């Protein structure tokens, strides 16, 4: 089990300056020195590099597009096995109730648990999905995908309502993730029952942090094509 505290997501979106395993490993080391209790990382290359630099548990995922399916956070057993072999201590997956490349979410969780014997970190977008993931055997339930599925609304604020419902309904550790920008929001998440909180963009994405500030400049305009920063 990971400790209770702050998890830092070290992921560099494609097209941004810090894309590269060496940069993510350095970012993870800085997060460890700053007091993070775990790292969330994407892809075997980044995970392997991070494990060489830090002693913290790594929550691994692998974003892959599988034609014909919406879930792309560790969508297959092969992708999960690859990040496990790279050193991931916990496997994060899309645990929504949308069709998965390898059957239902519940059957996928059970396959992973049996095949890899590692804890499963279930990224969900609704209470129904959280309940189903816990029932299937997921070890952590996270609000990661709230606002990123067609049937949930994305807001500027974290989905504290979903967090509270999950915390009040389940005994497994509940993790808050998504649109957390301030220490005050982090504290609120813990007050509502979060076991841990994941912060990514606000700590490890200088591009997005800079844009967050410069767009507040009066009459700010940019003619640049901005890369996607979705995690």
What is the predicted pLDDT for the residue at 136? 98
pLDDT tens, residue by residue, 90-112: 999 999 999 999 999 999 999 99
**Domain assignment present for 226:** no
**Domain assignment present for 230:** no
Cα–Cα distance measured from residue 213 to residue 160, given in angstroms and rounded to the nearest whole number: 24
pTM beyond 0.85: the answer is yes
**Domain assignment present for 211:** no
Q: Tokens representing 7?
A: 């998890």
CATH number of the domain to which 170 belongs:
3.20.20.70
- Number of separate domains in the chain: 1
What is the predicted pLDDT for the residue at 215? 87
pLDDT tens, residue by residue, 167-191: 999 999 999 999 999 999 999 999 9
**Domain assignment present for 221:** no
Average pLDDT of the residues of the chain: 94
What is the predicted pLDDT for the residue at 14? 85
Cα–Cα distance measured from residue 169 to residue 104, given in angstroms and rounded to the nearest whole number: 22
Strand partners for 61: 42
Query: Rounded to 5 degrees, what are φ and ψ at 199?
Result: -125, 130
Could you list the pLDDT tens digit for every one of the 231 residues in the chain? 899 999 999 999 888 899 999 999 999 999 999 999 999 999 999 999 999 999 999 999 999 999 999 999 999 999 999 999 999 999 999 999 999 999 999 999 999 999 999 999 999 999 999 999 999 999 999 999 999 999 999 999 999 999 999 999 999 999 999 999 999 999 999 999 999 999 999 999 999 999 889 988 988 776 555 555 544
Q: How far from the centroid of its chain's Cα atoms is residue 161's Cα?
A: 18
Per-residue burial over 151-174, b if 16 or more Cβ lie within 10 Å, else e, is: ebeeeeebbbebbbbbbeebebbb
What is the predicted pLDDT for the residue at 1? 83
Cα–Cα distance measured from residue 100 to residue 65, given in angstroms and rounded to the nearest whole number: 11
What is the predicted pLDDT for the residue at 95? 98
Cα–Cα distance measured from residue 52 to residue 44, given in angstroms and rounded to the nearest whole number: 12
Distances (CA, A) of 69 to 12, 63, 72, 103, 182: 23, 13, 8, 11, 34
**What is the residue whose two structure tokens read 């189903």?**
132
Domain extent for 110: 5-203
Cα–Cα distance measured from residue 83 to residue 60, given in angstroms and rounded to the nearest whole number: 6
Cα–Cα distance measured from residue 174 to residue 153, given in angstroms and rounded to the nearest whole number: 20
Q: What one-character DSSP code corresponds to residue 228?
A: P
């Amino acid at each position: 089990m990971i400790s209770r505290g702050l998890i830092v997501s070290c992921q560099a979106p494609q097209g941004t300056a810090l894309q590269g395993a060496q940069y993510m490993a350095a970012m993870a080391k800085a997060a460890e020195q700053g007091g993070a209790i775990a790292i969330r990382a994407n892809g075997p290359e980044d995970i392997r590099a991070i494990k060489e630099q830090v002693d913290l548990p790594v929550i691994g995922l692998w974003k892959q597009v599988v034609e014909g399916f919406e879930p792309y956070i560790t969508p297959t057993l092969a992708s999960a096995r690859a990040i496990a072999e790279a050193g991931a201590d916990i496997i994060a997956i899309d645990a929504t109730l949308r069709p998965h490349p390898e059957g239902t979410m519940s059957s996928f969780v059970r396959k992973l648990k049996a095949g890899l014997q590692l804890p499963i970190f279930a990224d969900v977008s609704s209470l129904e999905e959280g309940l189903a993931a816990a029932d299937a055997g997921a070890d952590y339930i996270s609000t990661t995908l709230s606002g990123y599925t067609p049937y949930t609304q994305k807001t500027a604020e974290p989905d504290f309502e979903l967090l509270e419902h999950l915390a009040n309904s389940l005994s497994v550790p509940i993790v808050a993730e998504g649109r957390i920008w301030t220490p005050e929001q982090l504290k609120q998440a813990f007050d509502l029952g979060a076991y841990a909180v994941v912060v990514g963009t606000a700590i490890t994405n200088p591009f997005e942090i800079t844009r967050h500030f410069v767009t507040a400049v009066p009459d700010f305009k940019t003619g640049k094509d901005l890369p996607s920063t979705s995690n």
